[in-house]
Copies of this chain bind each other. A is one copy, B any other.
Amino acid sequence: MHESFLQQTIELAKKNVQTGSGGPFGAIICHNQQIISACSNRVTVDNDPTAHAEILAIREACKQLNTFQLADCVLYCSCEPCPMCLGAVYWARLKQVFFACNRYDAAQAGFDDSFIYDEIATIAEKRKITMQQVALKESLSPFIAWQEQENKMPY
């Protein structure tokens, strides 16, 4: 069963290249073994660097199920999720992830997944993109407001 859903993500990925709609990646989200969303990469056609197949599938599944968490859902992807998509998997609280290729296959095809994993493991000061904390007097005030807010919706 897992293999059948994975096979479908590969078909999505391949078709996406053939139709010129974006990168060679597909993703499917299932709930009770039913497909809730099935998406392909749309970075270049949508001018959206976050429009990876997995991100789009998570957003679409949330819309379909009217929720911001997918605790009982399984993500299938044609390739190992990049750090952005892996982060999204955690925020969506998915149950399980299956993937066909891995980050090294993606790197061989010219994609940055493996590079970004390496960057995340590097201390901020030594990364290729400069990242710097500048603490201000009021830095923590949003968190204080959040903790004091009574009718908040945690996520």
Q: How far is the CA of A155 from the CA of B66 in the complex (A)?
A: 32
> Are B87 and A155 closer than 8 Å at their CB atoms?
no
Q: How far is the CA of A41 from the CA of B25 in the complex (A)?
A: 27
Given A24-B142, A120-B86, A155-B43 in contact, is the A94-B129 Cβ separation under 8 Å? yes
Given A7-B138, A131-B97, A136-B6 in contact, is the A48-B62 Cβ separation under 8 Å? yes
Interface residues on A, range: 35 or more
Residue among A24, A52, A93 with most chain B CB within 10 A: A24
> Are B110 and A154 closer than 8 Å at their CB atoms?
yes
Copies assembled:
2
Chain B residues in 8 Å Cβ range of A149: 17-18, 20
Given A18-B145, A155-B44 in contact, is the A49-B132 Cβ separation under 8 Å? no
Q: How far is the CA of A129 from the CA of B155 in the complex (A)?
A: 17
Q: Closest CB-CB distance, A108 to chain B, in whole Å?
A: 7
Chain B residues in 8 Å Cβ range of A72: none
Q: In the complex, which residue of chain B has the Cβ closest to the Cβ of A145?
A: B17
Q: How far is the CA of A132 from the CA of B77 in the complex (A)?
A: 11
**A interface with B by C-beta (< 8 Å):** 2-3, 6-7, 10, 13-14, 16-18, 20, 23-26, 43-44, 46-50, 52, 55, 58-59, 62-63, 66-70, 78-80, 82-102, 105-106, 108-110, 112, 115-117, 119-121, 129-136, 138-143, 145-147, 149, 151-155
